[in-house]
Amino acid sequence: MLSVENLEKTYSSGDEALKGVSMEVSGNEVVAIIGPSGAGKSTFIRCINQLTEPTSGSIELDGVDLTGLSDGELRDQRRNMGMIFQEYGLVERLSVMENVLAGRLGYLSAWNAFRRDFPEEDVRHARATLDRVGLGGHDDNRADELSGGQRQRVGIARAVVQRPKILLVDEPTSSLDPETSRAVMQLLTEIAADEDIPVLINIHEVELALEYADRVVGLADGRLVFEGSPSDLDENARDTIYRATAESSSDPDGDAEGSNGTDPRMITESR
């Protein structure tokens, strides 16, 4: 289970990207984070895997506090968090198989990682995972030969072969056409069920969040202002999440998404 309590992030510029955000993610639920550009969504995801260091608060994964870890401890814990990036995060010149097997590098010794000497079991699992995401037979293709949707599937396969305890997904559909976006979201929900792990998705296409998420969380100006099921969303909550767009751009990490929304029960302050 992921447990986040009173998470805050203030940048050196004084911008407050997160203001006491708390939430839990457990089981095999799919949780979508929505909100306007600058709401803090990308910062929240990046704080969980420590790509961005939070200013204060606690982040626990299965009882292990992820804040304040040594480099070695953080390396070990990152194996438990599969990260799927908006821009895919692939090494373009490497093959599909090499990119997927990168998800196992954290389990190798430094020497074997340098040599890319993976156990045969890892290779079999990677090949089976490529079949699972619809890329069987593409093992030897270079990543830069693939379409955007195929690249995103490689990123998903790489995260799955880590055998993580949670999948963290940052804008997986922002560069994809509608049909491919739906296929990617369907794949993520299937993985959550099949692997019995939760998936936390930062997404700006609210209709996709409504269709595929079990729970929706709304951020606005760095605060959690809504949490509920997709059926809880109403116009009043949408207004609460999206009314302050221009003045709430306090997220230097990007958080670049549109503000086409939908929304539910309002939370006046973070828990």
Sequential DSSP letters for 206-257: HHHHHHH-SEEEEEETTEEEEEE-GGG--HHHHHHHHS--GGG---TT----
Same domain, 18 and 139: no
Same domain, 158 and 169: no
Same domain, 150 and 104: yes
Number of domains in the chain: 2
pLDDT of residue 248: 43
Same domain, 151 and 169: no
Same domain, 67 and 193: yes
Report residue 6: phi and psi, to 5°: 50, 45
pLDDT of residue 267: 44
pLDDT of residue 237: 85
Pairing of strands 223-228, 30-34: unpaired
Same domain, 57 and 178: yes
pLDDT of residue 243: 80
**What is the distance between the alpha carbons of residues 129 and 102, in angstroms, rounded to a whole number?**
13
- Domain of residue 207, CATH code: 3.40.50.300
Q: Is residue 271 part of a domain?
A: yes
**151-186 exposure pattern, b = at least 16 Cβ within 10 A, e = fewer:** bbbbbbbbbbbbebbbbbbbbbbbebeeebbbbbbe
Q: Is residue 116 part of a domain?
A: yes
Which of 144, 163, 182 is where one domain is finished? 163
Same domain, 31 and 101: no
* Tokens 């299965």 sit on residue: 62
Q: Is residue 85 part of a domain?
A: no
Query: One digit per residue, pLDDT tens: the chain, 271 residues?
Result: 999 999 999 999 999 999 999 999 999 999 999 999 889 999 999 999 999 999 999 999 999 999 988 988 998 999 999 999 888 889 999 999 999 999 999 888 888 888 889 999 999 999 999 999 999 999 999 999 999 999 999 999 999 999 999 999 999 998 889 999 999 999 999 999 999 999 999 999 999 999 999 999 999 999 999 999 999 988 888 888 988 544 444 444 444 443 333 333 344 333 3
Q: For residue 31, what are the β-bridge partners?
A: 200, 215
Which of 163, 184, 205 is where one domain is finished? 163
pLDDT of residue 244: 52
Same domain, 43 and 126: no
Amino acid at 242: Y
Q: Is residue 187 part of a domain?
A: yes
Specify whether the CB–CB gap between 50 and 41 falls below 8 A. no
Q: Is residue 102 part of a domain?
A: yes
Which of 163, 192, 211 is where one domain is finished? 163
**What is the distance between the alpha carbons of residues 13 and 64, in angstroms, rounded to a whole number?**
30
Q: Is residue 156 part of a domain?
A: yes
Domain residues for the domain of 149 are 90-163
Nearest-CA neighbor of 32 among 209, 211, 264, 229? 209
Both structure tokens of 88: 């895919």
Same domain, 269 and 210: yes
Instruction: Give the H or E element holding residue 112.
Output: helix 110-115
Q: Is residue 21 part of a domain?
A: yes
**What is the distance between the alpha carbons of residues 157 and 155, in angstroms, rounded to a whole number?**
5
**What is the distance between the alpha carbons of residues 84 and 109, in angstroms, rounded to a whole number?**
24
The region that residue 4 occupies, defined by phi over 0 for left and psi between -120 and 50 for alpha, beta otherwise, is beta
**55-84 exposure pattern, b = at least 16 Cβ within 10 A, e = fewer:** eebebebeeeebeeeeeeeeeebbbbbbbb
Same domain, 63 and 177: yes
Same domain, 268 and 248: yes
pLDDT of residue 85: 87
Q: Is residue 235 part of a domain?
A: yes
Same domain, 270 and 217: yes
